Amino acid sequence: MSLDKVKITPEEYQKILQGLDLISISLKESRCYLNTDVKIPNELNIEINSEEKFKVINEEQVQIIQKYFLDARKRNSKSRFLQIELTLLVLLKSKEKFTDEFFDVYKEVSLKLNTWPYFREFVNNITSRMNIPPLTIPFFKVNIK
């Protein structure tokens, strides 16, 4: 995220953020795939992406859909070893108007700070249930340029 592209002032962002309260974070959907035709690799190239969108439900409530995508492949291989998709439903109470400009920053910083632990736990748990060494996803680190 580049700060020169942000269309909201830090003061406006902080005001909206201070007026937010978490109502719930829940599992909306998940999908997992393990390629059992491949021997468990010693090292994996792991790529993680996300998509986020929001909908204002009423004057006080906002619903956010956060999707995480994990793709793991053996180093220098084109075939997928593991794929995990997790969709979370985040329900917030907002005292201030929840704007597109606020969400552009929120989804890159504050939202992931709150949902990343759920994603990390899900990946660790589901990989152990797949009878492979559990994956431990690293901490989420905000990358502000």
- Give per-residue pLDDT as tens, 32-73: 999 998 888 888 899 999 999 999 999 899 999 999 999 999
The token pair that represents 128 in the structure block: 């152990």
| Nearest partner of 99 among 62, 67, 50, judged by Cα | 62
∠ CA 73-111-65 to the nearest 5 degrees? 75
- Give per-residue pLDDT as tens, 96-128: 999 999 999 999 889 999 999 999 999 999 999
Relative to beta strand 20-34, strand 61-74 is unpaired
